[in-house]
Structure 1
Amino acid sequence: MTLALPRPHRDDVRIAVGGLLGGVPLWLFGIHPRVPADPLVQWAAPWAPLVPLAVTAACEPLRRTRPRIGLLVGTLALTLDTVTLGSVVTLVLYTDLVYAAVLYGTPSSARRIPWITGLLTVLGGVVPAALWRDPQALLIGVGVGVVAFAPAATGWVVRNHRDAAEAARLRAEQTALLAEMDRAQAVTVERARMARELHDMVANHLSAIAIHSTAALSLDDPQTSRDALSVIRENSVAGLAEMRRLIGILRESSGDLEPAATPTLDGLATLVEGARANGLDVRLTAGHGRVPAPVELAAYRIVQESLTNALKHAAPGPVRVALRQADGTLRIEVTSSYRPGDTPRAPGSGSGLTGMRERATLLGGGFAAGPEAGRWTVRATLPLAETETETETAARGDSP
């Protein structure tokens, strides 16, 4: 089993080739940092500087993939270079290996190498100067600092900037992701709101149209058919007006239309009159004062949907609508006759109860609906206090 090394970066290969192409001509022309008369290098053959040059150049392809190995082998090659005539290119390549080991190495290596090279720089200047008692020996420490500590410190600075840029990029991506999630959530909430508005505004009129058109088709009585067609026309016109209002709400953001009026509890009397025109025996009892706009809209829609359900599902009998303000809440109760097993007079999707419950929940209130003592009862409790929930609901656009 063989261990495959990662493929070196093309720029690292170019650095290695460039180092050889620069070092060999300097050797051919006899350009070296040390002179042959130096006792430390008298034993070395003339071609000896080429060995550390070739080894250091061979370490360059490892500067990204195996920076620690490259630095270790390069350090051995540099040590060998010090007992030969030497090559300036070998020193330059070694500084790049130190820089790359800090920049591309592990976090632990990036922390240790600057400290180690800094310590060697200090020792390289202080120890020889103390032993030889010659201030010029401090130049040894300067040389170590230039060859080792300076590239290590540069790599540390560049790595910190790179890591900071990467962290900023990740934060920007997370911010964009959160913004997209918020946008998707806002779209979902807005769609649910518009679905409730569309259902509450149009279902009442369409249910009346379906019921009276069935009567007009099933009864062979010209007057009854005429009355039914009149009711159908009235509900068609009213439904068309509600649809236009909804379209106006959708176009408000572009400034095409003026904001449409929001339904209020003052319109309950008109709503009840319309339900009576559709054949319901409705009685309204209202005892309330001034209420916040979100609560007012929710209460109007709950009464409207309850009357629509009574028109479609209730057995013949009176429908009672009661609104009462007490203990900081607006309490709504709508009751109608109920006979289990009756067939609805108009089709329904069952989303009306869901919409009423959502409206009450958004305001922090409660909702319940079901048979009770032989009558179908709808109860909703809406808090009247200007709570944070209501403010946020209004800000999301739950009221037109």
Structure 2
Amino acid sequence: MAARLPRPHRFDAWVALAGLLGGLLLCGIGLGMRPAHDPTVLFDGPWPIVLPLFLMAGGELLRRAAPRTALLIGTVAMIGDVLTQGSLITLLMYTDLVYTAVLYGTPSSARHIPRVTGLLTIVATLVPYAVWRVPEALLVGVFIGLVAFAPASTGLIVRNHREAADSARLRAEQTALLAEMDRTQAVAAERTRMARELHDMVANHLSAIAIHSTAALSLEDEKTSREALTVIRENSVQGLSEMRRLIGILRDGTPADDKAPAVTPTLDGLGVLVEGARANGLDVTLDAVHGSVPAPVELAAYRIVQESLTNALKHAAQGAVTVWLRGRNGALELRVTSPHGGRDAPRAPGSGAGLVGMRERAALLHGTFEAGPENAADGTGGKLWVVRATLPVTDVPRGGTE
């Protein structure tokens, strides 16, 4: 099956029609590029100009749809035009075909056409001068340069500028895409961070409220109920205060109450945290020895201990809970142990996000985290739930766990 030529562009059809009409007008008034009786003219008279003109107009129809084919047709038409008196319109349309062949053609055409036309210009300059030895012979090379090499060079320059502009636009689009991906990742990371902070800050107080409210409802002793309600009120006030501080930070970067403590806790606050756990009914002991620790590590360690105590409050059996923390060998090591087993259901409902959050905090600092049941070391056969974390205190990633 024969290959079909592509459909011409509408603008190219208008260019071909304008060139054809202009050439016919010049032919009708008998205006050619050379006199009628010039010895170099093989086909005298105005009308032999028409056939190359029609061929050249046909090439203009394909100037963008098939640039190489259009240039081939135009070259044949130009050779035919040289044998006649010649038409200025045919010549102008040929320069356009050379230009568009470089501009819209394949990369191979864009490289080779300027080289070939440049070589033809040199040859057309040197050979006639060498044969005729007259300065006028140099005009042949000038003519070839203006008709072929100059349009080809112009097309190459414009093509290079367009490709550079396309490359710059593509880079800009890629940069915008990468920026959008970074923004999306930053939003996701911020949402994850806020989820961890909200869980760690509020879950402890809400768990204590749930446990003590259950006790207050299930026991009819007035003294026990009042004690439970006192704990519920304290945890409610503390939870509300922390929520206000966090909301202030989210709004404008400062706590809502200027007199409120900083929203980011430190290891110095572990004592207060343990006292609060004792007030909620846990038998907790703290054994902490540490030196100067980067703020991201302090926050991660504090939150891991806080969540571990919250889990002990909800899930642990009766018995001692131990918080052990040491800074050594370029890392902060912590361990929280609590009695495991002996409870059919948790004292307060949980979401299961606590262990995930603790593991994320350790991973963000390139540390390690593990949690699970272990046999008690006293040989009684009892089970302990042990949370272990090792957090490097050197080469802390920027941003840490915040």
TM-score band, normalised by the shorter chain? over 0.9
TM-aligned CA distance change 1:132 to 1:256, over 3 Å: farther
Contact 1:283/1:319 (<8 A) preserved:
yes
In the TM superposition, residue 46 of structure 1 has moved relative to its aligned partner by 3.0
- Structure 2 counterpart of 1:104, one-letter code: Y
TM-aligned CA distance change 1:165 to 1:24, over 3 Å: same
1:135 maps to 135
Give the secondary-structure state (helix, strand or coil) at the position aligned to 1:49: helix
CA distance in 2: counterparts of 1:254 and 1:44, whole angstroms: 94
- Structure 1 counterpart of 2:387, one-letter code: V
In the TM superposition, residue 2 of structure 1 has moved relative to its aligned partner by 6.1
User: Mapping of 1:337-352 within 5 angstroms?
Assistant: 337-339=339-341, 342-352=344-354
TM-aligned CA distance change 1:257 to 1:100, over 3 Å: farther
2:384 maps to 375
CA distance in 1: counterparts of 2:132 and 2:87, whole angstroms: 27
- Structure 2 counterpart of 1:380, one-letter code: A
In the TM superposition, residue 135 of structure 1 has moved relative to its aligned partner by 2.0
User: Mapping of 1:63-82 within 5 angstroms?
Assistant: 63-82=63-82
2:270 maps to 268
CA distance in 1: counterparts of 2:343 and 2:321, whole angstroms: 19
Q: How many residues align?
A: 393
1:174 maps to 174
In the TM superposition, residue 255 of structure 1 has moved relative to its aligned partner by 10
Give the secondary-structure state (helix, strand or coil) at the position aligned to 2:398: helix
1:110-149 CA-partner distances (Å, limit 9, x unpaired): 0000000001111111111111222211100100000000
1:252 maps to 252
Contact 1:40/1:83 (<8 A) preserved:
yes
2:379 maps to none
- Alignment gaps of 5+ in structure 1: none
1:316 maps to 318
Which stretch of structure 1 is more off in the superposition, 124-133 or 300-309?
124-133
- Structure 2 counterpart of 1:338, one-letter code: H
User: Mapping of 1:200-211 within 5 angstroms?
Assistant: 200-211=200-211
User: Mapping of 1:82-93 within 5 angstroms?
Assistant: 82-93=82-93
CA distance in 1: counterparts of 2:329 and 2:255, whole angstroms: 41
User: Mapping of 1:137-286 within 5 angstroms?
Assistant: 137-252=137-252, 260-286=262-288
1:36 maps to 36
In the TM superposition, residue 343 of structure 1 has moved relative to its aligned partner by 1.1
Contact 1:248/1:260 (<8 A) preserved:
no
In the TM superposition, residue 189 of structure 1 has moved relative to its aligned partner by 1.1
In the TM superposition, residue 300 of structure 1 has moved relative to its aligned partner by 0.6
1:294 maps to 296
Output the TM-score relative to the length of structure 1: 0.95
Contact 1:363/1:393 (<8 A) preserved:
no
In the TM superposition, residue 221 of structure 1 has moved relative to its aligned partner by 1.6
1:300-326 CA-partner distances (Å, limit 9, x unpaired): 101100000000000011110111111
1:121 maps to 121
- Structure 2 counterpart of 1:209, one-letter code: I
Give the secondary-structure state (helix, strand or coil) at the position aligned to 1:393: coil
- Root-mean-square deviation (CA, aligned residues, Å) is 1.7
In the TM superposition, residue 26 of structure 1 has moved relative to its aligned partner by 1.1
- Alignment gaps of 5+ in structure 2: 376-382
- Structure 2 counterpart of 1:377, one-letter code: V
TM-aligned CA distance change 1:57 to 1:253, over 3 Å: farther
Which stretch of structure 1 is more off in the superposition, 109-118 or 241-250?
241-250
Give the secondary-structure state (helix, strand or coil) at the position aligned to 2:90: helix
CA distance in 1: counterparts of 2:367 and 2:53, whole angstroms: 81
2:380 maps to none
CA distance in 2: counterparts of 1:297 and 1:133, whole angstroms: 93
Which stretch of structure 1 is more off in the superposition, 242-251 or 274-283?
242-251
In the TM superposition, residue 190 of structure 1 has moved relative to its aligned partner by 0.9
- Structure 1 counterpart of 2:370, one-letter code: A
Output the TM-score relative to the length of structure 2: 0.94
In the TM superposition, residue 328 of structure 1 has moved relative to its aligned partner by 1.3
TM-aligned CA distance change 1:284 to 1:256, over 3 Å: closer
CA distance in 2: counterparts of 1:140 and 1:266, whole angstroms: 94
CA distance in 2: counterparts of 1:6 and 1:177, whole angstroms: 35
1:233-286 CA-partner distances (Å, limit 9, x unpaired): 111111111111211221235998879442011111111111111110111111
Identity %, equivalent residues? 65
Which stretch of structure 1 is more off in the superposition, 160-169 or 341-350?
341-350
